[in-house]
Amino acid sequence: MPDSKRYIPISCTFYDYLEEAATLQKPAVIEFSSNGKVQVVESRVVDLFIVDKAEYMRLANGLELRLDQLLQVNGIVLPKPNRI
C-alpha cells in the first residue's frame, strides 16, 4: 500500500467532507488518479486512516486510496494546489 511518491496533504475542508461521508455511509462517486489514469468508482467511504504519514481512505468495496490521489468526490473537486 505505501506509495513511493511524497504525500501531499489534502485540505482540511476536503478531509472534513470525507469524514462526513464515512459517518453517513452514503454512496459516493469517487474520481481519482492512478498510474497517470483517471478512474471512477462508486462505493461508500468506510474508514480514513494513516500509513507512513500518508492519509488513506478505505471503501466498502475494499479499495484503499491515498487521499492525494483524489480528484473529486460526489462532484466536489479537490482544491488544485493539492492535486498530484
Report the domain count for the chain: 1
In eight-state DSSP terms, residue 68 is: G
Residue 3 lies in a domain: no
Q: What is the pLDDT of residues 47-81, one digit of tens each?
A: 999 999 999 999 999 999 999 999 999 999 998 65
Q: Return the C-alpha cell found at 83.
A: 492535486
8 A C-beta contact, residue 11 and residue 78: yes
Q: Structural domain of residue 31, as residue ranges?
A: 12-82
Q: Which residues pair with 50 in a beta bridge?
A: 55
Q: What is the pLDDT of residues 6-16, one digit of tens each?
A: 899 999 999 99
Query: Which CATH number characterizes residue 37's domain?
Result: 2.30.30
Q: Where are the alpha helices (DSSP H) in the chain?
A: 12-24
pTM of the model: 0.85
